[in-house]
Chains A and B, each alone.
Chain A
Amino acid sequence: MRDRQRRRAGIIAALSCAFALAAQAAETGYEGPGHRMVWDAKGMVMGENRGDTLPADCPAISEDVSLEVHVGRKYAPAGLVFGYSDYQWRVPPCSRVSVTLVNEDEVRHMWMLHGLPSYVYAQGMFHLEAEGRRTMTGTFVVPGDDRTYLVHCDIAQHTEKGLKAQLKVGQGSGDLPGVPGITAPRYTGDAD
């Protein structure tokens, strides 16, 4: 009987603990480094950093780089559906990079870069998105080490259909697989 009461008390304590912790967690709501966003009818920028916060290994911005990237079906390499006007860009370490994405299609496209330091960029991403026939510009600061970053369009099947590219900071850290015109895709299925 006493054991049953203890078991019941344990359950009540556990449930109280759960409710208290859940309520506390819901109230805390840590927001991370923030989305650093711009949005309007033309598209969206997320993870914009015009130099207010530098990556930890950058004492200063080394230089400004402007990239103009066109995207659309007319740039698609043979056998693919969509394409970027370029598939690789090189920028100096610690440079401030402004990307202008010119979307020549009627559908939405992105220039999304992964792998940036997550203490500056939410989820380590810089995200540039342009609605059909629209142009958007956004800016970010790259870290100081040699590294190759993935750039792609995150809309379903757009990466697979041709929108995968790479940004090399400094010497880069090699080539990513499956970048049209640069590397062959890496298939992970049966080798037969």
Chain B
Amino acid sequence: MSSTQSQSPRTHRFARQACALAVVAASISSGAAQAAQTAGGAEADAHAQHHPAAGGSAHSDAGVSPPQGMTIEILEPGAEAVFAPGATVPVQVRAEGMSVSGDHWHLYLDGELQAMVGAGRMAYELVLPETLEAGEHELKVTISNARHQEYDLAATRTIRVEASDRSPSDSPAE
């Protein structure tokens, strides 16, 4: 048996072992990548939770293409609805193409993230800040996947905020 013949199986065994290690490494890498994503999401959640004002688009800087047929629209409040600072705004959306378990919608007030709503809930009660200045303010909803990556779609609605002594007739100002 020549030296080459005797070492060739060893070399192959080495390659197999190396590839097995590579699989393990890939597995670890995959786990690490998922863990990083999970941890990143959790960290972003925790960050937003403790610092809601820092919410904004912290979860996603760039949108992703929505699946075909995915839509979202705001049913409530109506256009130009008027509320007082501190009032509760019933927000109702209609969405198509969302996965109940992973997808959810994000609600923004003037670009600041207020809520993430999933598990099939299509309604949310937004409590306006007491300090919200009078004037027009924008509500925006987007759909996000389970990793908090927002799809490239959004619906907006302008509401008006007025002092409570000027209570409107068509909205539940408090």
Residues of A within 8 A of B (CB): 2-3, 6-7, 9-11, 13-15, 17-18, 20-22, 24-26, 28-29, 31, 33-41, 44-45, 48-50, 52-53
Contact = CB atoms under 8 A, between A and B. Distances in A.
A14 B11 contact: no
Contact of A31 (B33, B52, B147): B147
How big is chain B's contact interface, by range?
35 or more
Contacts of A45: 119
Contacts of B118: 34-38, 48
Contacts, number: 121
A7 B11 contact: yes
Interface of B: 3-4, 7-8, 11-12, 14-15, 18-19, 21-23, 25-27, 29-30, 33-34, 37, 45, 48-49, 52, 99-104, 114-121, 124, 145-147
Nearest to A122: B101
Contacts of B15: 6, 9-10, 13-14
B34 A36 contact: no
Contacts of B34: 29
Contacts of A15: 22
A149 B114 CA distance: 33
Contacts of A37: 104, 116, 118-119
B26 A18 contact: yes
Given A3-B4, A33-B101, 17 more contacts: A6-B8, A6-B15, A13-B15, A14-B21, A18-B23, A18-B29, A25-B29, A26-B33, A28-B30, A29-B33, A34-B99, A34-B100, A34-B102, A36-B100, A39-B45, A39-B49, A40-B124
Contacts of A10: 11-12, 14-15, 18
Contacts of B26: 17-18, 20-22, 24-25
Contact of A50 (B3, B22, B29, B120): B120
20 contacts: A2-B4, A7-B14, A10-B12, A13-B15, A14-B19, A14-B21, A17-B22, A18-B26, A21-B22, A21-B26, A25-B27, A26-B29, A31-B102, A33-B101, A34-B100, A36-B118, A37-B119, A38-B115, A40-B114, A48-B119
Given A3-B7, A22-B26, A53 B119 contact: no
Contacts of A53: 100-101
Nearest to A43: B49
A25 B30 contact: yes
A36 B101 contact: yes
A41 B52 contact: yes
A36 B23 contact: no
Contacts of A50: 119-121
Nearest to B100: A52
A40 B14 CA distance: 54
Nearest to A7: B11
B95 to A, nearest CB: 14
A22 B117 contact: no
A11 B115 contact: no
Contacts of B117: 38
